[in-house]
């Protein structure tokens, strides 16, 4: 993209470059406003007047997140955020929406305002808050994300104190979170909160395990503590020393982590076991955990050496079976082929997905060329949101799934394993192309909600406001 204006940009002065930056930023804000306006209109058409479908587990909102997510190449969670922002700016904060369309504020600032005002539910209060915020933002200037949240909360406090998002009781909100996997280094962040006593117990245990190896172990204390967490999680009690000395008593300690995982190799070769972790410049094998996390070649070689169970990505027999349920070999192949849900933008691990017949059984064959993983939401979407204006999918011989939305747009998703290992293209053509069968199977029923999505949202806001009001009435000492 940077070769579009090479000659022009090299001939202008710094001031002109800055002017282009600001003009492009205003245009970017206008484009975000236009996108949210279109999303809000689409949500109205899909969600309003949905009748009994509002009680469906896969209701109109969920169906709309699928369309928005596929169109914008984002997951359904982020599609829902886009939809919420669109409705908020159009219906509740129109002045903020106009500032966005005029390029006065950025899409990021508008999104933060939408999030921080989510507990304001009274229409008159929203009107007052919209006016106050729109008048104030022009004087804020450049703010960090933390400063922006603090400033927005200050305005909300003056108008509706119970609507300020608070972190109230840390003990009640404690949790442990795992971040997105880093597929390059084979690591994943972990963060959260423990009670003081639990934290002390864990810290002491990590330190004890980390110091259980000899002085020649090549890892520093922090790396050993990190590895100790994995050992404890696998039910182990000690680290295996990596010094490589045959006489080290800790070197022969079984590695609880390796023996607790099954690794699937996407390429045809498995790295040779090594006696101690070492660079493997000739190894290009990639491994995956059942949840879809990628294991780099060096880490794969290390785990193989320590006893991890390794399975190669074998293609099951291409003959279709007469049974409805896929065989174990078919299920494993489908899970490894896709690694995630077969809907565009959905990253739910395939091991937790339903194995779906793309063309419904018994018309559709139980064959790897007609089987794909779908998370429960997108399985329900395909099964029940059907018909001339519904969702349908088809599978190409290389495993690519092509979804057709109610608007007629097509969205493609190639098997993730093929993207990770481009030379691993496996074709699984069907023995004969089956006819389509779009109607739900007889007797299948859509799971129903106990409360509609609107009722759930209203109950959440009411609960959060009650907690805030209690906090304001009796703040902690």
Within 281-438, residue ranges assigned H as helices are 297-305, 328-338, 376-384, 416-420
Rounded Cα distance, 268 and 261, in Å: 20
Cβ–Cβ < 8 Å for 399, 414: yes
Three-state DSSP at 236 gives coil
Higher-scoring residue by pLDDT: 66, 227: 66
Task: Using alpha carbons, select from 332, 330, 276 the residue that is nearest to residue 303.
Answer: 276
Q: Residue 377: which pLDDT band, with cuts at 50, 70 and 90?
A: very high
> Tokens 């029940």 map to which residue?
384
Pairing of strands 309-312, 262-265: parallel
Surface-to-core class of residue 321, CB atoms within 10 Å of its CB (0-12 exposed, 13-18 middle, 19+ buried): middle
Task: Using alpha carbons, select from 295, 331, 300, 297 the residue that is nearest to residue 314.
Answer: 331
Task: Using alpha carbons, select from 101, 106, 105, 60 the residue that is nearest to residue 83.
Answer: 60
What is the rounded average pLDDT of the residues 451-477? 84
Angle between helices 145-159 and 107-116 (to 10 degrees): 40
pLDDT at 99: 93
Cβ count near 218 (within 10 Å): 13
Most distant pair of Cα atoms in the chain: their distance: 77
Cβ–Cβ < 8 Å for 60, 381: no
Return the structure tokens found at 106: 């950025």
Please determine, for residue 130, whether its predicted confidence score (pLDDT) is greater than 80.
yes
Return the structure tokens found at 195: 């009670």
pLDDT at 62: 94
Three-state DSSP at 397 gives coil
pLDDT at 209: 86
pLDDT digits (tens, 9 = 90+) for 84-116: 999 999 999 999 999 999 999 899 999 999 999
Computed on alpha carbons and rounded to an integer, the radius of gyration of the chain in Å comes to 27
> Tokens 């090549």 map to which residue?
218
Task: Using alpha carbons, select from 134, 194, 133 the residue that is nearest to residue 163.
Answer: 133
73: left (phi over 0), alpha (psi -120 to 50) or beta: left
Within 137-247, residue ranges assigned H as helices are 145-159, 196-210, 221-233
Rounded Cα distance, 23 and 305, in Å: 57
Rounded Cα distance, 76 and 339, in Å: 17
31-35, 112-116, 127-131, 358-362: which range is least confident on average? 358-362
> Tokens 């929203």 map to which residue?
126
Q: Residue 284: which pLDDT band, with cuts at 50, 70 and 90?
A: low
pLDDT at 44: 93
Please determine, for residue 64, whether its predicted confidence score (pLDDT) is greater than 90.
yes
147-156, 197-206, 247-256, 408-417: which range is least confident on average? 247-256
């Amino acid at each position: 993209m940077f070769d579009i204006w090479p000659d022009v940009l090299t001939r202008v002065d710094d001031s002109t470059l800055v002017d282009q930056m600001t003009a492009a930023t205003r245009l970017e804000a206008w484009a975000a406003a236009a996108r949210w306006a279109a999303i809000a209109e689409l949500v109205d058409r899909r969600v309003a007047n949905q009748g009994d479908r509002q009680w469906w587990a896969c209701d109109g909102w969920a169906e709309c997140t699928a369309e928005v997510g596929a169109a914008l190449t984002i997951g359904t969670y982020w599609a829902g955020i886009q939809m919420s922002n669109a409705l908020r700016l159009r219906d509740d904060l129109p002045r903020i929406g106009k500032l966005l369309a005029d390029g006065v504020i950025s899409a990021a600032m508008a999104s933060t305002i939408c999030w921080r005002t989510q507990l304001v539910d009274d229409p008159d209060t929203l009107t007052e808050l919209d006016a106050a915020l729109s008048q104030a933002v022009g004087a804020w200037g450049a703010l960090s994300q933390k400063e922006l949240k603090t400033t927005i909360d200050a305005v909300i406090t003056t108008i509706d104190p119970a609507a300020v998002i608070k972190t109230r009781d840390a003990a009640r909100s404690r949790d442990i979170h795992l971040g997105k996997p880093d597929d390059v280094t084979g690591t994943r962040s972990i963060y959260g909160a423990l009670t003081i006593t639990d934290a002390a117990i864990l810290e002491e245990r990590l330190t004890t395990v980390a110091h259980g190896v000899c002085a020649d172990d090549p890892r520093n204390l922090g790396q050993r503590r990190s590895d100790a967490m994995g050992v404890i999680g696998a039910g182990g009690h000690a680290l295996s020393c990596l010094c490589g000395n045959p006489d080290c008593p800790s070197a022969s300690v079984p590695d609880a982590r390796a023996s607790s995982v099954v690794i699937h190799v996407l390429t045809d070769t498995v790295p040779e076991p090594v006696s101690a972790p070492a660079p493997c410049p000739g190894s290009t094998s990639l491994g995956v955990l059942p949840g879809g996390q990628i294991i780099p070649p060096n880490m794969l070689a290390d785990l193989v050496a320590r006893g991890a169970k390794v399975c190669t990505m074998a293609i099951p027999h291409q003959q279709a079976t007469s049974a409805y349920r896929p065989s174990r070999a078919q299920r494993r192949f489908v899970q490894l082929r896709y690694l995630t849900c077969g809907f565009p933008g959905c990253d739910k691990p395939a091991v937790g997905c339903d194995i779906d017949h793309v063309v419904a059984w018994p018309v559709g064959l139980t064959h790897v060329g007609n089987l794909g993983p779908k998370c429960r939401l997108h399985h329900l979407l395909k099964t029940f949101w059907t018909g001339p204006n519904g969702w349908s999918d088809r599978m190409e011989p290389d495993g690519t799934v092509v979804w057709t939305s109610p608007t007629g747009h097509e969205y493609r998703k190639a098997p993730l394993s093929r993207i990770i290992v481009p030379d691993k293209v496996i074709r699984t053509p069907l023995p004969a192309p089956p006819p389509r069968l779009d109607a739900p199977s007889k007797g299948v029923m859509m799971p129903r909600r106990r409360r509609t999505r609107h009722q759930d949202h209203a109950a959440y806001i009411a609960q959060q406001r009650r907690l805030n009001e209690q906090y304001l009435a009796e703040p902690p000492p």
